[in-house]
Structure 1
Amino acid sequence: MMQNELKEKLKNLSEKFNTELDIISLKALCNMPGNEEISFAITGILNRLMEKYPDDKEILDLLPKKEKISLEELIEVLQETYPNNTEVFTIKALSTFSEEKLKEKAIAQSLERILEVNPNDENIMEYLEIENVISKEKNPDMVFVEGGSYTPSFFNEERKVVDLYVNKYVTTQRDWEELMEKNPSEFKGDRKPVENIVWIECLKYCNKLSEKYNLKPVYKIANNKLLKIIYKDGKEEYPNLADFKKTEGYRLPTELEWEWFAFGGQLALKNHTFSKKGYISDDNKEILEIAWNRHNSITVHDVGMKKPNILGLYDILGNTEQYVYDTAEDGYLDEEHSYIYDETPSILGTVLYRSRGGHYKRDTYYKNNPWLERSSCYTNCRGFRIVRTANPQK
């Protein structure tokens, strides 16, 4: 059904898209027998087109139209999402009220109260016909990643990830040198990941990039030490208490966020391809197609040379590991601060920071890889990928 509807829409497209290779690919896919793989390919191409032409009405029309959620369906979702919430109880009671106009106004009022606390609830916004206003991302390498809830591989409770912009690539040496005016990398190359760097330098880079795009920098740094996290409204919080939903600028992802987009996020959940395996064998052909590791590489490679994941993110696994915000100690992830930040030095005298994704010298792991920050043996194996909160909260 998806292919038939899409085929009809493609017939009516103007000539300006006749040479667009993704449109040609869609036409070819629509003529093939429908199955799960074809649907998966179509979804990927549609997402890519949306990234290229975010404001084009003809491209927007290619996306399947979703029916508005009914009040009964909304109540079911709200009961599951907000158990023991008085506004949800009120909405359920109001749903039986006979006076339609008064009922709708009262229900809308209760829903708006829930939105004050959870402004990104898509089901409520859909029911109230409110558009989700996402600040425009000016950096062309950033991809919008819808948030959601999942149980990470390193914690046994479900936690929520907000909407993010995530860079398609690990930060390159060209991008780094443009802002930092030096290149510490051992394996030189404009399109190769910057490496041979320490965690605090990644934060400094993020601040400079935020300034470049007129965004509020996230990190307050002095004497090579992170002092505070800065919110969009200028307020500051300690690094172990910060709420990154309130930040605007570029930053390192938390480990929870990294795993969310590495595994494919909401798109993979919908397609039933979301993976949280602790380890995938490097003998697996699929891994060798997406990752540079010790089985197919002896050096760092240019970014984007392997296949991306379902969200269009390259080098999620392999090439260089990627720093995250979390420090290396395990602990409890509370719902408000879903990360671990502990500045207590290890027995070796330094703070350890987590990195994820594996690198060219080793097997490819999804598991934690807390290499020593000062280790001369492995500093050329660590890079980083930037993110930013898509719709900062007050």
Structure 2
Amino acid sequence: MTLRGRLKNTGCFMLLLFAVTGCVNLRVPEGFRAAPNRKPEPYTRTGWAHAVIHEKTGIEMVFIPAGTFEIGSPESDAGRSVDEGPVRSVRLTQPFYLARYEVTQDQWLEIMGDNPSRFEGKDRPVECVSWDACQQFLQEAGNGLSLPTEAQWEYACRAGTTTAFFFADAFQNYFGDDQGLLGRHAWFDGNSDGRTHPVGLKAPNPWGLHDIIGNVWEWCEDGFADARNVSPDGLTTDPVGPTDVEHRVLRGGSWLNLPWLCRSAFRNMAPPQTRSMLFGFRVAAVPSD
């Protein structure tokens, strides 16, 4: 008898099929389909698919579990800005999906019908897009897509780490050999050759997000609020920045920036109508029952 026959006779064939294919009855948000299973993920315990594809745009998104983390940076961080605020605890009560890659020019063109980017290439991140234009894209794309909040962004970028970068602690020398470690994960001024690059070429963070640092700055939903006077005591739940301010948050650094701007806690800002070849975005979505 063949191995397959023996397995069927012992009732183990479906178990083996599950182990090999990852097939399981997972929930998928409306307007999405399950993405191919790249590797087993612990987040499937929630019942939601670990990765999904937005059907209208083709954007692949990774499941990010709810949790508590430390936002901000200690004063000892090299290159720290005072508006990063003290390290403090934040709880995100809802899981969410975050795009595995920055939105590409091809995806933008499919929805918006134009390509504003300075560095053209269908798999490169779209840039020269304002926060306002991103909102138009999200409305057209539908299915609850949004920009991530600043807290969601830093939580996903850190991916459970507490160091200055998700792959290492603060560099002792930004211009020494340590740049090679950053270069494996990000396009920045030391390796970009003065331009953006196709998404996904660099190693991802521990939660499977590519280019979460470097390549282009990423718009967040929040208005920018100075965090230097925020109390480090207590626990903040699901924070969202103000809406009645002149600037919106940008995170992650870009192809033009020095390494210290790519730290997980570094914050940037710009008026929502600003278009720059440094600015792009990735999308988020909160699944609902």
TM-score by length of 1: 0.51
- Listed as ranges, the matches of 1:56-205 within 5 Å are 132-134=46-48, 137-139=52-54, 141-153=60-72, 154=84, 155-161=86-92, 162-205=94-137
1:85-108 Cα offsets, whole Å, 9 max, x none, are xxxxxxxxxxxxxxxxxxxxxxxx
Q: CA deviation at 1:359?
A: 0.4
Q: Which has the larger radius of gyration?
A: 1
Amino acid of the residue matched to residue 311 of structure 1? W
- Listed as ranges, the matches of 1:204-243 within 5 Å are 204-210=136-142, 215=143
Task: Indicate the SS of the match to 2:204.
Answer: coil
Inter-partner Cα distance in structure 2 for 1:359 and 1:308: 16
Amino acid of the residue matched to residue 90 of structure 2? R
Q: CA deviation at 1:339?
A: 1.9
Inter-partner Cα distance in structure 2 for 1:354 and 1:186: 22
- Listed as ranges, the matches of 1:292-371 within 5 Å are 292-297=187-192, 298-331=194-227, 335=236, 338-344=239-245, 351-364=246-259, 365-366=262-263, 367-371=266-270
Task: Indicate the SS of the match to 1:204.
Answer: helix
Inter-partner Cα distance in structure 2 for 1:262 and 1:204: 25
User: Is 1:389 matched up with 2:277?
Assistant: no
Higher relative contact order (CA 8 A, sep 6+): 2
Amino acid of the residue matched to residue 318 of structure 1? G
Inter-partner Cα distance in structure 2 for 1:384 and 1:321: 7
Amino acid of the residue matched to residue 91 of structure 2? K
Amino acid of the residue matched to residue 201 of structure 1? A
Q: CA deviation at 1:329?
A: 2.5
Q: CA deviation at 1:374?
A: 5.5
Q: CA deviation at 1:277?
A: 1.7
Asked if the contact 1:145–1:166 (Cα under 8 Å) also holds between the matched residues in 2, the reply is: yes
Partner of 1:119: none
Asked if the contact 1:134–1:391 (Cα under 8 Å) also holds between the matched residues in 2, the reply is: no
Asked if the contact 2:189–2:257 (Cα under 8 Å) also holds between the matched residues in 1, the reply is: yes
1:332-367 Cα offsets, whole Å, 9 max, x none, are 5984550212423xxxxxx21111110011113221
Q: 1:63 to 1:179 in 2, by over 3 A?
A: closer
Q: Normalized per residue, which structure has more strand?
A: 2
Q: CA deviation at 1:138?
A: 4.5
1:89-128 Cα offsets, whole Å, 9 max, x none, are xxxxxxxxxxxxxxxxxxxxxxxxxxxxxxxxx9xxxxxx
Partner of 2:7: none
Inter-partner Cα distance in structure 2 for 1:310 and 1:296: 22
Q: 1:336 to 1:311 in 2, by over 3 A?
A: closer
Amino acid of the residue matched to residue 197 of structure 1? V
Gap regions ≥5 residues in structure 2? 1-11, 23-33, 73-83
Gap regions ≥5 residues in structure 1? 1-8, 23-49, 65-121, 123-130, 216-248, 269-273, 345-350
Asked if the contact 1:186–1:380 (Cα under 8 Å) also holds between the matched residues in 2, the reply is: yes
